[in-house]
Structure 1
Amino acid sequence: MVAALNPVPSLILRPFSYRRRPKRTFSVRATSGSSSSDSPEGTTTSVKAKEEGGKVGDGSGTFAVPPNFKPPEPKTFGVRPDKTGDIFGASLALFFRLGTGVFVDGYSATFIPKNEFPPNEYALEVSGYKVKEASKLGPRPEKPIDIYEFEGCPFCRKVREIVSVLDIDVLFYPCPRNGPNFRPKVAEMGGKQQFPYMVDPNTGVSMYESDDIIKYLVGKYGNGNVPLMLSLGLFTTLTAGLALIGRSGKGTSYSPSKLPPKPLEIWAYEGSPFCKYVREVLVQLELPHLQRSCARGSPKRQILYDETGRFQAPYLEDPNTGVKMFESAEIVEYLLATYAIQ
């Protein structure tokens, strides 16, 4: 447990403070290769990236759909046999955290007979009934909030949980150990490499300290009340650390990768073991990604249902290649084939 708490030397009881967002410069040059096809198979993107004050990625890269790639057929609640251990390990977090991050704030459910439920609306089906889910959301941020963090950090997990509870879209900048891109950027912006670090482009507020970030988010985008399992001080942090045991530090250390010109987009939420399995690789490869939070009760479930004809998380959209896909195991394989430096 001590090892689980070591990644971030942070004092959770430090007094609340915030900083105005410093001015930063980030430039990306991208060119798309010509193709005779509009399909993902015919898409290639070349990228050169440079960030003032620090190295970004390896400076260049070519992004193409892996050979013979075909998005898999989605299977609801299906676990590929060779990934059973991974999903089971990721599921242990639900026990230690009592499901925090599975439900949106103010969650409610109504059971409606299947034959009375509109066919074009998303709902969970249970024994001949459709479960209509709802929630009570606070004000919505106009722009996604920036959060610098990594998977194998209990303090970061706490912030990811409140993001799912509040149903907030977040642009995550992964900061694994030895990551060359965003760890140095955090030190440049805030003065030290400590995680999580939040920047709210809607207000100009930036801050360290997980508990302070949680209080800020519930005050600005929630009802002002911190959920019980995120308000218990040391007990919250200890259980967040225990929640990492099942994955043995996955998503903590950097693996060499090519930085894409555009952030990936993933429909996900903290309480899902399938989503966690994918996020570990996003962090490992230091791939910025916009998370469309969609825990149970999220209205965004209907949005994804309208776009794809079903709801299932995680769902990946890669604007750099045009790939859109379900299925966690295959998403991981796609990410490694596309962005890992072999």
Structure 2
Amino acid sequence: MATALNLSPPPISLLRPLSYRKIPKITTTIRASTSSSETSPPLTTSTKDQGLSSSPSSSATFAPPPDFKPPVPQRFGVRPDKRWEVFTASLGLFFRLGTGVFVSGYSVSFVPKNEIPPGQYALDAGDSKAKETSKLGPRPEKPIEIYEFEGWNTIEMAADQQNKMRSFSRMWLDMSRVREIIAVLDIDVLFYPCPKNGPNFRRKVAQMGGKQQFPYMVDPNTGVAMYESDDIIKYLVGKYGDGNVPLMLSLGLLTTLTAGLAMIGRMGKGSSYIPSKLPPKPLEIWAYEGSPFCKLVREVLVELELPHLLRSCARGSPKRQILYEKAGHFQVPYLEDPNTGVQMFESAEIVEYIKATYAVQ
């Protein structure tokens, strides 16, 4: 007989109305395909409207490094030279109590192996298999767009004194909370990295919203755009969830402290710009916030200011089955680069590939 474990957090009701604004009509959003079987359209920018200092070059060519071969995936293995990085990236699992590891309404049942048909994803558990399920809300037709960066959230706001005081009081709160709710809600997001000194998307945020503050969310499905992590979280759970904020994202100061402690081991990573070549199409990464291996890849994508479409697939996500069928088994991170045709597993090798292909040498 199957036994079930329900790991759903207790509901916390929304406490206050959201503050949001409609997307200005003069801006041009950069979108990627919502279907994994489609080819992502090119990134398009208008220097007149957005004032970008650089844009995809028609003369630039992108190809894998010479003699490149995707590595054979190694399950449950850590490359010896990456053990410390994986350890420091794992601190979030401890301090955040696994927030961002499970999707909404996650539950698991342990059933005999013969009850799982061939070709269906399920985690081996000795003589049984773990059958995972979830309860998800409405799915957005187009990916949510978020402008942000990894690392500490040193918010840059307008020069008036009230905003300065507010910025100081929140300077240690990183943006991982928004990424956590994305994993919980299992929604795909088109990320526009905004590292310090990044020449492209920081400026665009200031033009769209009036200030360089992060994270900044744009929902092309509704026309809503907003700043503020708390407001973004409440908007997303109201629109694409059950309306309740998960417990670990609604504890006020405790949420702030644990989110900050989770970043200690990766302080400075994923926050400063490294010169790069902006590709015509966003990279696609299958990942989720709770995975330390995925975090290492995300840091590099942000530092190189590479737009990327996140196919969120935390535990209980139906997209795990999609990746299982696509690649022959499930393992994350998994990178699909439509600019070169490369598809690959293994976080350490993905990081090396991204740097070799897009960093300015």
- TM-score normalized by structure 2? 0.83
CA–CA distance in structure 2, aligned partners of residues 26 and 104 of structure 1: 28
Indicate the residue corresponding to 2:75 in structure 1: 76
Indicate the residue corresponding to 1:35 in structure 2: none
SS at match of 2:237: helix
CA–CA distance in structure 1, aligned partners of residues 82 and 110 of structure 2: 33
Is 1:55 matched up with 2:60? no
Indicate the residue corresponding to 1:102 in structure 2: 101
SS at match of 2:78: coil
Contact kept? 1:106, 1:135, Cα under 8 Å? yes
CA–CA distance in structure 2, aligned partners of residues 164 and 302 of structure 1: 16
Indicate the residue corresponding to 1:278 in structure 2: 297
Structure 1 residue 62: deviation in Å?
2.1
Structure 1, residues 134-184: CA drift from partner, whole Å, max 9, x if none? 100000000000000101134421100000000000000000001010000
Indicate the residue corresponding to 1:65 in structure 2: 64
Amino acid at match of 1:54: G
Contact kept? 1:123, 1:131, Cα under 8 Å? yes
CA–CA distance in structure 2, aligned partners of residues 206 and 225 of structure 1: 20
SS at match of 1:146: strand
- Structure 2 residue corresponding to 1:227, chosen from 246, 266, 284: 246
Amino acid at match of 1:22: P
CA–CA distance in structure 1, aligned partners of residues 285 and 30 of structure 2: 23
- The 5-angstrom pairing of residues 1-342 of structure 1 reads 16-23=18-25, 24-25=27-28, 51-52=47-48, 53-57=50-54, 60=57, 61-152=60-151, 153=153, 154-342=173-361
- CA separation of 1:151/1:131 partners in 2, compared to 1, >3 Å: closer, same or farther? same
SS at match of 2:192: strand
Indicate the residue corresponding to 1:9 in structure 2: none
- Structure 1: stretches of 5+ with no match in the other structure: 1-12, 29-45
CA–CA distance in structure 1, aligned partners of residues 280 and 300 of structure 2: 18
Structure 1 residue 313: deviation in Å?
0.6
SS at match of 2:137: coil
CA–CA distance in structure 1, aligned partners of residues 128 and 30 of structure 2: 51
SS at match of 2:286: strand
Structure 1 residue 185: deviation in Å?
0.4
CA–CA distance in structure 2, aligned partners of residues 326 and 274 of structure 1: 11
Structure 1 residue 294: deviation in Å?
0.1
CA–CA distance in structure 2, aligned partners of residues 16 and 119 of structure 1: 46
Structure 1 residue 25: deviation in Å?
3.0
CA–CA distance in structure 1, aligned partners of residues 354 and 262 of structure 2: 25
CA–CA distance in structure 2, aligned partners of residues 58 and 116 of structure 1: 52
CA–CA distance in structure 2, aligned partners of residues 27 and 102 of structure 1: 28
Amino acid at match of 2:203: P
Structure 1, residues 84-141: CA drift from partner, whole Å, max 9, x if none? 0110000011111111000000001011112332121001101121101010000000
SS at match of 2:24: coil
CA–CA distance in structure 1, aligned partners of residues 292 and 345 of structure 2: 14
- CA separation of 1:140/1:59 partners in 2, compared to 1, >3 Å: closer, same or farther? closer
Structure 1 residue 78: deviation in Å?
1.2
CA–CA distance in structure 1, aligned partners of residues 183 and 30 of structure 2: 30
Contact kept? 2:30, 2:44, Cα under 8 Å? no
CA–CA distance in structure 1, aligned partners of residues 119 and 276 of structure 2: 41
CA–CA distance in structure 2, aligned partners of residues 225 and 65 of structure 1: 44
SS at match of 1:64: coil
CA–CA distance in structure 2, aligned partners of residues 211 and 65 of structure 1: 40
- CA separation of 1:26/1:302 partners in 2, compared to 1, >3 Å: closer, same or farther? closer
CA–CA distance in structure 1, aligned partners of residues 30 and 315 of structure 2: 37
CA–CA distance in structure 2, aligned partners of residues 316 and 110 of structure 1: 30
Structure 1, residues 293-319: CA drift from partner, whole Å, max 9, x if none? 000000000000011110001000000
Structure 1 residue 235: deviation in Å?
1.6
Amino acid at match of 1:129: S
Identity in percent: 75
Amino acid at match of 2:20: Y
Count of residues paired in the alignment: 313
SS at match of 1:62: coil
Indicate the residue corresponding to 1:32 in structure 2: none
- CA separation of 1:47/1:191 partners in 2, compared to 1, >3 Å: closer, same or farther? closer
CA–CA distance in structure 1, aligned partners of residues 263 and 357 of structure 2: 27
Structure 1 residue 55: deviation in Å?
2.4
- TM-score normalized by structure 1? 0.88
Query: RMSD over aligned Cα, in angstroms?
Result: 2.0
Contact kept? 1:89, 1:246, Cα under 8 Å? yes
